[in-house]
Structure 1
Amino acid sequence: MSRRNKVVLGIMLALGIAIFGFSLRNVNLHNLGHDILHIHWQWLIVAVICMLLYFGIEAIITRMFVTSNGDHFSFRDAIRIPLIEQLFNGITPFSSGGQPAQLIALMQSGVEAGRASSVLLMKFVVFQAMIVINFMFSLLIGFQYLAEKMSYLSLFVVFGFVIHFTVIIGLLLIMYWHGFTKKLISWILIPIGWFVKAERYDRWKQALDEKVDTFYKESVRIKTQWKLLIKVFVMTFFQLLFYYLVPYYIMLSLGYTGINIIMVTSLHVLIVMVISIFPIPGGSGGAEYSFDVLFSSFIHSNSKLVLAMLLWRLLTYYFGIFAGMFALVTKPDRIDRKIKRNKE
């Protein structure tokens, strides 16, 4: 991890502590202590298991893609990938650092750079597609509630959906209309060329063309493995489902048993969509506020609402960051695959 990333990590942890402190300003600490002592720990453990399954399933998916061409890739190496992704997603704006960090982690495990890039691209396509599908269903269920509670936040939700949907359309264009996509990128880049030097413009265009070509070649190969894609889509659905269920089990741990699981899960999907467009790493501030407002109708006790928000944030954000820090310093089981194949 670079010095800059360490500084950002420190800032994000300090910001998180400040936000937690601010959230507690109007909370009776005696009531908060009482709520903590009376947590139904079995349901909180289920919430933790949901997060572990979220990471574990992504590790299995990564391993499936890497080994689809015969490479050996241990689960120990595979589990490092989503954890490192969580760390760098959590300390970079718009979660932009997760993909490069995964690429480096795969290469540390001995996966060739081109192969690693292709694996991450295909994993990203499936993940984004499933996010959009889940969001569409959640929008039908929870958007009216969201609009009533915070009409201005609903605009962010729609904007987030448009961004994710546009990404999926762009990826599908590369997969099925490769030539047209390259022409479209050239047209889009023309106005940019008016404001940057020709040398930099050519470098950007060449880099984009290479990425498009790489993704297209891998998509042609992977489309022939339709059984693998079906498995990955199904597994990604359950991966996201476990993640989206975390607030429900947190609420059960606080004694709220009569809640609607579908509504709570749908609202969590919408919150995640809002967080994704906040420029602050991890959506800090916006995430806590969104949770507080949307779930206040389910949790009427102020101390329990703040406790639920703290537990949710610890599990879905900080847990991944700390686990990623551990994964980052863990040496992968690098294997010389050329030697292995010669022995075989």
Structure 2
Amino acid sequence: MKKRKIPWSMLYIAATIIAVILFGIFNREFGNVFYTITHLAPGFLAAGVVITIIYFFFEGGIIRLLMHSQNIPMTLGSSMKIGLIGIYYSYITPSSTGGQPMQAAYLRRDNVPVGLSTAVLIMKFFCFQCAFVFCSILSLLFLHGKIARENPGILPFIYVGMAINGGSILFFGSMFFRPVLGAICRFAKWLTGRFPKLAARFHAEEAIDKFEADFDSYTDDFKEKKNSVICGILLSIPQFILQMSVLYFVFRSFGYSQVGYLEILAIQSLLQLSVSFMPMPGASGAQEIGFSNFLRNYFVNNDLYAAVMVWRFFTYYLVVIAGALVVVADQLLYGRKKTALPPEEGEG
């Protein structure tokens, strides 16, 4: 009898759809947000959506830049897809751990070696973290006196966030030094060696060696192509500013105008700094609590909770929905393309 194939792609699509449905069911404020939005200034909300879309263009553009620096051809549309998929999986996994691995898996499907794609994606993360910490330092210098007077209780969280995010720059940057990468790969071999049957089945040692070699090839090229990394950092600064600017348009949509753009941008940057290391998916819970503590002096007309709902809708829920749609559409198109290929090609 012919062995029946398990329809993994369809199961994957079904799991994605179910996850988004459950996401809506278990977030009670998700349903209430639509009523709140209908009573806000539509122009400012539309502006918030537009800058989020521009943010996605930056995300894809920086990935494409770093890929092209390694002679990996990639269209802007493909890089935006990879970028949005990474954001989607970062938002639905604890501590944002799922983004880069899933991006590497999708790139592997397009015949980009895992070690090389991982190196590029880590460098992309490194560029963004540099911009994140740089803008956060400027924000803290700009608002430190005001926060110390009016809301000193949030300063410890800002300092911890600064230390953790600054440390991540050092850690991920160190991976491009061969001794550090070698130590990580040796640890991975030791760890897989604790499970010999699985290691043998998946050829773990050979896979780790290939990963290290591909990663090393990026490190060799990186020494000659530092300009692409510098450009990645410089482009990540406006990208981060765009991401942090959504709050300003939410603020204005509620009818407030007494505080300027730079102050709202700075307070949002410090809020993000303070909760970015929380282990929940999308820092859920911490984001809402942080918003209430950081923005309580800005939304003063008994509308703080409504503001939290609207802000989270545009910066989190909407991105999750968009990412899920991209994942499902891409899987359907890939399944159709794979079916159309001859058997020896379609099996890859």
Q: What TM-score, normalized by structure 1, do the two folds share?
A: 0.77
In terms of mean alpha carbon deviation, does 102-111 or 306-315 score higher?
Answer: 102-111
How many angstroms apart in 2 are the aligned matches of 1:265 and 1:20?
27
- Matched with 1:310 is 309
Could you tell me which residue of structure 1 aligns to residue 108 of structure 2?
Answer: 107
Paired position in structure 2 for 1:83: 84
- Identical-residue share of aligned pairs (%): 23
Aligned match of 2:25 in 14, 20, 25? 14
- Report matched runs for 1:73-152 at 5 Å: 73-146=74-147, 148-149=150-151, 151=153
SS of residue in 2 equivalent to 1:302:
coil
Residue 218 of structure 1: aligned partner: 218
Report matched runs for 1:1-344 at 5 Å.
1=12, 9=20, 11-17=22-28, 36-37=38-39, 39-146=40-147, 148-149=150-151, 151=153, 153-175=154-176, 177-179=177-179, 182=182, 199=194, 215-303=215-303, 305-331=304-330
Q: Deviations over 1:194-251 (max 9, x none)?
A: xx897369x8999988867654542331232233223222211111110011111111
Q: Post-superposition shift, 1:13? A: 3.3
Pair 279,114 (structure 1): closer, same or farther in 2 beyond 3 Å: closer
- The residue type paired with residue 319 of structure 1 is L
CA distance in 2, matches of 1:270, 1:209: 40
Question: 2:251 corresponds to which letter in structure 1?
Answer: M
Helix, strand or coil at the partner of 1:330: helix
| Unaligned stretches of 5+ residues in structure 1 | 25-31, 336-344
1:274 Cα shift? 2.4
Give the secondary structure class of the aligned counterpart of 1:299.
Answer: coil
Partner of 2:345: none
Change (3 A) 1:179 1:116: closer
For residues 141-173 of structure 1, what are the alpha-carbon distances to aligned partners after superposition, in whole Å with 9 as ceiling and x for unaligned?
23454454261x433332222222112112333
Counterpart residue number, 2:344: none
- Cα 1:6/1:68, change in 2 over 3 Å: same
| CA distance in structure 1 between the aligned counterparts of 2:289 and 2:115, rounded to whole angstroms | 41
TM-score, with normalisation over the residues of structure 2? 0.76
Letter in 1 for 2:112: V
Aligned residue for 2:250, secondary structure, equals helix
Provide the secondary structure at the position in 1 that maps to 2:194: helix
| Residue identity in the other structure for 2:48 | A
Query: Unaligned regions of 5+ residues in structure 2, if any?
Result: 1-11, 339-348
Q: What amino acid does structure 1 have at the position aligned with 2:49?
A: V
Report the Cα distance in structure 1 between the residues aligned to 2:255 and 2:159, rounded to whole angstroms. 33
CA contact (8 A) 2:30 2:313 kept: no
Structure 1 stretch displaced more, 127-136 or 112-121: 112-121
State the 1:122 CA deviation.
1.5
Point out which structure has higher relative CO (alpha carbons under 8 A, 6+ apart).
Answer: 1
Check 1:184–1:112 CA distance in 2 against 1; reply closer, same or farther (3 A cut). Answer: closer
User: 1:313-334: per-residue Cα shift (whole Å, max 9, x none)?
Assistant: 0111111101110110223688
Change (3 A) 1:20 1:94: farther
The 1:219–1:20 alpha-carbon spacing in structure 2 relative to 1, beyond 3 Å, is farther
Tell me: CA distance 1:3–1:150, structure 2 relative to 1, closer, same or farther (3 Å).
farther
Amino acid in structure 1 at the alignment position of 2:47: V
Asked if structure 1 preserves the Cα contact closer than 8 Å seen for 2:95 and 2:281, the reply is yes
SS of corresponding position for 2:255: coil
Is the 2:130–2:169 Cα contact (8 Å) retained in structure 1? yes
Q: Is the 8 A contact 1:63 1:74 kept in 2?
A: yes
Q: CA RMSD for the aligned pairs? A: 3.4
Q: Structure 1 residues 88 and 155, CA, compared in 2 at 3 Å: closer, same or farther?
A: same
TM-superposed CA distance for 1:95, in Å, is 0.6
Q: 1:6 to 1:210 in 2, by over 3 A?
A: farther
Retained in 2: the 8 A contact 1:44–1:253?
Answer: yes
Amino acid at match of 1:149: N
TM superposition shift of 1:179:
2.8
CA shift in 2, pair 1:316/1:180, >3 Å? closer
Which amino acid in the other structure matches residue 194 of structure 2?
E
Number of residue equivalences: 313
